[in-house]
A and B are shown apart, each in its own frame.
Chain A
């Protein structure tokens, strides 16, 4: 069967069929994903409560860890990979990410400036003190 082609294993797009012989390989893929996701989750929970990391950098560190974990989920669970059948999925995801980034960072950027410019007088005085 051509699905036993070793190159094809890592690159199964969502919707690709699975041969019965590949079952242990597929299970192992999920277990590797589980191990990586668990590791990243534990690191996130540890960092959030520890004094190990310079404190103002914690939100950035958590964001990076979350992004890494989302990548692990995409590859090992959703099988959004570099395979030929996945090209369209990756393109759609890239466009979705663009919208998400515009929405989240755009909102934060605009509202932070608005908040600063429309600051109530007492708070402004407090900051100047």
Chain B
């Protein structure tokens, strides 16, 4: 049935290929029909990222339910320091922009732009993780560790899960730099790079939710 074919992604992306036909032909390896492999890979990875967002929303729901369960211990108002959070936010936002520049650099095959932007992304991401670890260490030293109250358990689980994702992303970033160095801007390497960029941008989106709804709402006057 020909009507059914229009529903399939190939039908939807057909217009896109017609649009980018000249380029697709130039870079070939792409089939004439159906969506390009990059778009299919990006879509598959996007599905994974959405499942990751759902994981975070479960942790976030836990945190939201337990915000007031401080068991007589410190609350967010006593613990959160906004200047630190502002620096963390700036680091992650700038690193996500540099990650975008690295993707552009890889697509137009400019080594300086690619390696420079990836290095900047790494430094900013590592700074973020370092600041967060320092924040955690300070809180635990002050007796506000995850064992203090349900609120703090949920807080460490939520923010810690994001921090783990960023740390894993940093490892992935180094791997991508090494792979481009060893294998060049091959089509499969650039697809992996695309997935990494999607991952990194998504982590920043999750951080937007965290700094707004955990830190800022936590210290806002009530």
Contacts and interface: CB of A to CB of B under 8 A. Distances in A.
B39 interface: yes
Contacts, number: 181
Interface in A12-29: 13-20, 23, 26-27
Interface in B34-54: 35-36, 38-43, 46-47, 50-51, 53-54
Nearest to B89: A41
Nearest to A112: B65
B212 A84 contact: no
B220 A48 contact: yes
Contact of A100 (B13, B54, B94): B54
Most buried by B among A20, A51, A93, A100: A100
Contacts of A13: 16, 39, 42
Nearest to B96: A77
A124 interface: no
B23 to A, nearest CB: 5
Instruction: Please classify the interface of chain A as helix (H, G, I), strand (E, B), loop, or mixed, using the class held by over half of its residues.
Output: helix
B24 A17 contact: yes
Interface string A23-58: 100110011011001100100110111010001101
Contact of B61 (A44, A55, A87, A107): A107
Interface size class of A (residues with CB under 8 A): 35 or more
Nearest to B219: A48
Interface residues of B, number: 64
A3 B19 contact: yes
A128 B219 CA distance: 28
Interface of A: 1-3, 5, 8, 13-20, 23, 26-27, 30-31, 33-34, 37-38, 41, 44-45, 47-49, 51, 55-56, 58-59, 62-63, 65-66, 69-70, 73-74, 77-78, 83-85, 87-89, 92-93, 95-96, 99-100, 103-104, 106-108, 111
Given A18-B108, A49-B220, 12 more contacts: A2-B21, A8-B20, A17-B36, A17-B107, A19-B23, A48-B217, A58-B217, A62-B212, A84-B15, A85-B16, A100-B54, A106-B61
